[in-house]
Amino acid sequence: MEQIEPKIYHFETDHFALSAKGIHFLRSRFNYKTFAYSDIVEASFGKGKELKNWWLLTTIGTGLLVSCLFYLFYVWKMLLDPNVSRIYIEQIVAPIILVLSGGYFVYSGLKTAHVLKIKTANGKTDKVSFKELDKKAATPEALALLSNHLNHRLKINE
């Protein structure tokens, strides 16, 4: 007869979980890193960027959009040039691909959500997106659990 293991997480998403012991970082529901509440020096909750390297993604997206503008200028010159008799389909499709990928990169880089930033005693910082908890409307309960365990170390910035 199999024993059913009791659920140890009060709140669980794809990327993190909250329990009575601390904040657990998950990959495929496997706990790979845990911050005990006693190890957390400071935690702040508020609006922030979802991605760690959002500036890199935004820069790449902006570069793709700018290169698309230059390429469109080149194609426009070719359309107006009477000496050009043939324009290949690739020359028209390439700017469309650049605009779509550049726009998506900029959009993804600038997305914001509720984020919990954690600073530990050894100087490590990490952040967790509350996007999934916001969808489930469980953010207030999760913040209540965090404030019970972190007391004055949790700062809520709305």
Domain map (residue ranges) of the chain: 11-50+111-156, 54-110
Q: In degrees, to the nearest 5, what angle opens at C-alpha 27 toward C-alphas 22 and 33?
A: 35
Q: What SS3 state is found at 49?
A: strand
pTM as predicted: 0.76
Neighbour tally for 71: CB within 10 Å: 15
pLDDT at 33 over 80: yes
Please report how the helices 90-110 and 54-80 are oriented relative to each other, as an axis angle in degrees rounded to 10: 160
pLDDT at 4 over 50: no
Q: What is the topology classification, in CATH, of domain 11-50+111-156?
A: PH-domain like (2.30.29)
Which two tokens mark 34?
A: 């845990």
First and final C-alpha spacing in the chain: 49
Average pLDDT, the chain: 88
**pLDDT recorded at residue 109:** 94
pLDDT value of residue 14: 86
pLDDT, one tens digit per residue, over 94-144 is 999 999 999 999 999 999 999 999 998 888 888 888 888 888 888 888 888
Of 146, 126, 123, residue with least CA distance to 34: 126
Query: How many percent of the chain have pLDDT more than 70?
Result: 96
Given pLDDT bands bounded at 50, 70 and 90, which one contains residue 2?
Answer: low
Query: pLDDT-based confidence at 21, cuts 50/70/90?
Result: confident
pLDDT tier at 58 (50, 70, 90 boundaries)? very high
Contacts 24+ apart (CB under 8 A), 64-73: 64/98, 64/99, 64/101, 64/102, 64/105, 65/98, 65/99, 65/102, 65/103, 65/106, 67/98, 68/95, 68/98, 68/99, 68/102, 71/95, 71/98
Residue 6 clears pLDDT 60, i.e. is over it? no
pLDDT beyond 70 at 28 = yes
